[in-house]
Amino acid sequence: MSGKKSEYAEEESEEYEKKVTFLFLSPEEHVLIRPDTYVGSIEKQKKEVWILNETKTEMIEETIEYVPGLFKIFDEILVNAADNKQRDEEMKKIEVTINEKEKYIEIINDGKGLPIGIHKEYNCQIIELIFGHLLTSSNYNDKKKKTVGGRNGFGAKLTNIFSKRFEIETIDKIKKKRYEQIWKNNMKEKEEAKITDCKNKNSYTRVRFYPDFEKFGMIGFEKGIIKLIEKRVYDIAGTTWSKLKVYLNGLLININSFEEYNKEYFIYKEKDNNRWEIIIGLSIEQEYKQISHVNNIWTMKGGNHVKYIIEQIIDYIRNNYKTKIKSIGNINDIKNILKPQFIKDQIFIFINCLIENPSFSSQTKEEMILKKTNFGSEYDRIQFKIKQDSKKTDGKKNNNKKLRLDPDIIDANDAGPGSNCVLILVEGKSAKSYALGGVSVLPGGRNKYGIFPLRGKLLNVRDENKLKISKNKEISNLKQLLGLREDVNYNDLNIFETLRYEKIMIMTDQDYDGSHIKGLIINYFHNGWPELIIKNGFLTQFITPIVMVSKKHNNNNNNKISFYTIPEYEIWKQLHNNGKGWIIEYYKGLGTWEISQGKQHFKQLKQHCIEFKYKDIKDDESLIKAFDKKKAADRKQWLAEYRSGTYLNFKENVYYQDFVNKELILYAIEDNKRSIPSIIDGFKPSQRKIIYSCFLRKLINKIRVAQLSGYVSEKTAYHHGEASLCQTIIGLAQNFVGSNNINLLQPKGFFGTRLKGGKDSSQPRYIYTNLTKITRNIFISHDDSILNYLDDDGFPVEPDFYIPIIPMILVNGAQGIGNGYSTFIPNFNPKDIIHNIRTKLNHTNHSWNFMIPWYRGSTSPILTIFPKDNINHIGVNFRTIGNCQISILNQDKARIQITELPIGMWTETYHEFLYDLEENGSIDSFRNLSSDVDVLFEVDITLNKSNSLSLSNDDKKSKKNKDDTIKNSKRIIFNGILNLQFLKDMNLIDSLHTTNMVLFDRNQQLKRYECVEDILQEFFEVRWKYYENRKNSLIAQIKHLLEKTSQQARFISIKNSFIKKYGR
């Protein structure tokens, strides 16, 4: 039987060999045929990941398409560069360059170079082993505890295998040697290493690789992979464990710590023994999220290191918060809240840790699987003393005593736990008298009502730093008055009655700014104690009419019509002959009312006191949308949905969502109008009012700025503070370097200098101004009659825009921050603009000439940075560079002479910057020899000193990166090459962006302009139309004058004939 079985087995084996072909693959071939095992999938996939937003200001979660394998080969080189920081404490920077045109990635670090020499065992160059032979690594020895990212002997070799070309260059400063080697065709072709002598005192390692895009089903870099690579470079900037400068495409990433990297999500941070950094945030979507890094490796799927921390958090909350959570009341709710999964779903955690010899579930290193007993360190400091600084400002739990706070604050006599007192929050001291008079006619009076006059606008606490909140005096006083405590839930009636006041009454001016103050107060409670928002009746508002109208011959109070919003009044006015025949009275501020009128309002408290009410989750969403700094995109959509005529009906209680969408939105619209100029005249409304008043007054002779401010208020119905108006007048007259290219007002007196960017001007009552001669040559008086003048209740004021003969928005530039929108436009040379317009007038089909920003008096060179596609100059940016010269004093010493600063860098600001460099040892000393007009700093440095300045250009990377050098410069004496890294270190380079040019267009709608040429074109079209209008207007005026003159001549002729005939 056994013989038959053996015979059958042999036949089966022979048949198997006929059917199966065995492939004997080299390790490199196996990597290419089975890439999933080594680098992950080489197919495109869509995945929701955290990436940078368009402005590089925050992380957002977005679905992108990318190839994991391509991302992995980049990450291997990046992690190697970051690992070098642990080997060399002197390492100062990592530079990452993505060249989409030439299709390569380059990563440079200035740490200790790789060892140059022959490996004794393998008789091969050590660097060639590291980058060109699989399964070789210095990290195999597990007995030696290491906290670097690479371990398995694949790493950079995988990048080499998946590249068409792979370059390595390093300097060993000990041996004074430079090593260069190139591989091609997926590591199959190897050039011999070039080893040369090198006198460079600084080490560095440069890796450049050209990915084999065909292997990844691509033809070049795509948007998804670039976003992911950018995100990883930011990771490295935020997760390295000491000060390390990280650059992406030549620009410094301004992140100096893990806390700063995660600041958008920050709630609680702990750091322990340089091995663990933990940041805990709240998951808004109530879905557990984690972002973690082990030894600079992004563990996308987390792992045991995350599990180790999460378990501690859950255990702490379950064991320590049972009594606090019982305030909810329902026992089933308590059990649900204490379930581990429920707690976990509320957490958004960030972890950055160093773990000894970590192991991963695969070569892609997305999940760390080492057991916690082998981490090499413990983390058991989760104490969760969240908001301890904030708790220092908590109100007392059982405080029946009157409080001594700010003298302007009036504490109700009966205020204390369980009282039915009301705290009135009023806008400013002037409103305090109004409230105090009104309270005197209410039952209980001062016993039941407290008054807190707010100084300006309350801080927007949403996503704000806890320390900043705790140091805010207004918030501290408010918490003390109310008895508010951090981490206390006021749902339970017994807990609620520990508050010193039962209700809040918000009393602000009825204008747009008053609405904003209301919103900030509501936002404060919603952010810290949302249960108080939900509790109907806790928050109320006291409203007063903003406009009252009455018939001219029947002006008693009983016949007056009150309006509580401007849109409501505007609708009434349209229906009543634009208000003709009516007396119209404005009551913008509470201080406008007489005390007797205030008392009358308080006697009708039910009519004037309106409750805020909570309806549903849309109330929460609306408040978050309005005040969350990360919701700018949502606010843009919110503003786009606004319809003219929207207003809040105060005849009924108000839901929070209605307050946001019908009242607060009016402030947002007005805020943008104040902050963002018009494309046509380049003015914001306050600037336009000033120029209109100067034209109206024919302001040739000088006048005090303070007097002009009063005149503007009188003639243009300016409804805001005169201090702000004075500063705007001063701004129009400033002419120092970096301010106006053409100042429309003449500065007579001290209007500020480049020392402090104009903030050093004299008081408005001491300085004078008048129109400059050129102003009326730009704003031609013949255009005045064709402008559309606004109307303020029958009172003519400034036009909706002027029409200068050149686009002043480009002459003097603009910047402003509104609501959901901001803007920045550089200054340009008026001569370039005039040449452009004349060319266009003569050749209408001619395309616009490209212009470079220009600032009068500045000698700072401005470089143009074109995007890769350079389509119609969209996305063009500019770099403004300071002037400096370096002189070698001796073998060890050099002196830097700085004679110009980048645009926007003020002299005293730079003085402070140099003072910091001197304190931290980066420079030896400096002298400030600058005047109010000229810049002159002398900075002494030690050349062989280990400092943060990059002075040498003697290495090959400077010569290869032509984008980062400007040849034949006289400003820096180092082989005729201008070192951009040195300029960045010295804060002598800055950007002038054209990617956020937002203006009100010809239709007075907000519009983002993609390039300067678009602004020129729209201005040209509008100006052309108004030239036609001016021509028609002048012809009409001449015809009228001709007709009038003809009639006068006819009258004279008849009169003469009468005299001749009758002798008289």
Query: Is the CB of residue 815 less than 8 Å from the CB of residue 823?
Result: yes
Output the pLDDT for position 971. 37
The residues annotated with a catalytic role in the active site are 766
CA nearest neighbour of 995 among 52, 56, 50, 51: 56
Least confident of 34-38, 67-71, 175-179, 418-422: 34-38
Query: How many Å apart are CA 645 and CA 572, to the nearest integer?
Result: 11
Output the pLDDT for position 1054. 87
Work out the pLDDT band at 398, boundaries 50, 70, 90.
Answer: low
Output the pLDDT for position 930. 94
Output the pLDDT for position 136. 57
Query: Is the CB of residue 261 less than 8 Å from the CB of residue 238?
Result: yes
Residue ranges and CATH numbers for the domains of the chain are 45-255 (3.30.565.10), 263-386 (3.30.230.10), 684-808 (3.90.199.10), 877-993 (3.30.1360)
**pLDDT tens for residues 840-889?**
999 888 899 999 999 999 999 998 888 766 666 787 889 999 998 888 88
Q: What is the 3-state secondary structure (H, E, C) of 165-226?
A: EEEEEEEECCCCEEEEEEEECCCCEECCCEEEECCCCCCCEEEEEEECHHHHCCCCCCHHHH
Q: Which residue has the higher pLDDT, 702 or 578?
A: 702
pLDDT, mean of residues 65-72: 91
Output the pLDDT for position 264. 43
Residue 1022 has pLDDT above 90, yes or no: yes
Query: How many Å apart are CA 221 and CA 313, to the nearest integer?
Result: 41
Tokens 């602004």 belong to which residue?
A: 1015
Average per-residue pLDDT in the chain? 83
Pair of tokens at residue 318: 């379950």
**pLDDT tens for residues 255-274?**
766 566 655 444 445 555 56
- pTM comes to 0.61
Work out the pLDDT band at 13, boundaries 50, 70, 90.
Answer: very low
Least confident of 325-339, 734-748, 798-812: 325-339
Query: How many Å apart are CA 744 and CA 741, to the nearest integer?
Result: 10
pLDDT, mean of residues 296-300: 83
Output the pLDDT for position 94. 92
Cα 122 versus chain centre, distance: 54
**pLDDT tens for residues 835-846?**
999 999 998 888
Torsion of CA 699, 705, 706, 710, to 10 degrees: 30
Least confident of 9-23, 168-182, 306-320, 990-1004: 9-23
Output the pLDDT for position 970. 32
**pLDDT tens for residues 895-936?**
999 999 999 999 999 999 998 888 878 889 999 999 999 999
Residue 976 has pLDDT above 70, yes or no: no
Residue 537 has pLDDT above 90, yes or no: no
Query: How many Å apart are CA 817 and CA 803, to the nearest integer?
Result: 24
- Secondary structure tally for the chain: helices H, strands E: 36, 45
Tokens 């003072």 belong to which residue?
A: 915
Query: How many Å apart are CA 479 and CA 485, to the nearest integer?
Result: 7
Q: Is the dihedral of CA 45, 51, 54, 59 positive or negative?
A: positive
**CB-based contacts of 632, cutoff 8 Å, min separation 6:** 820
Output the pLDDT for position 516. 94
Query: b/e map of 76-88 (b: 16 or more CB within 10 Å)?
Result: bbbbbbbbbbbee
**pLDDT tens for residues 203-229?**
899 999 999 999 999 999 999 999 999
Residue 693 has pLDDT above 90, yes or no: yes
**How many angstroms separate the Cα of 661 from the Cα of each of 299, 554, 646, 647, 657?**
42, 37, 9, 9, 6
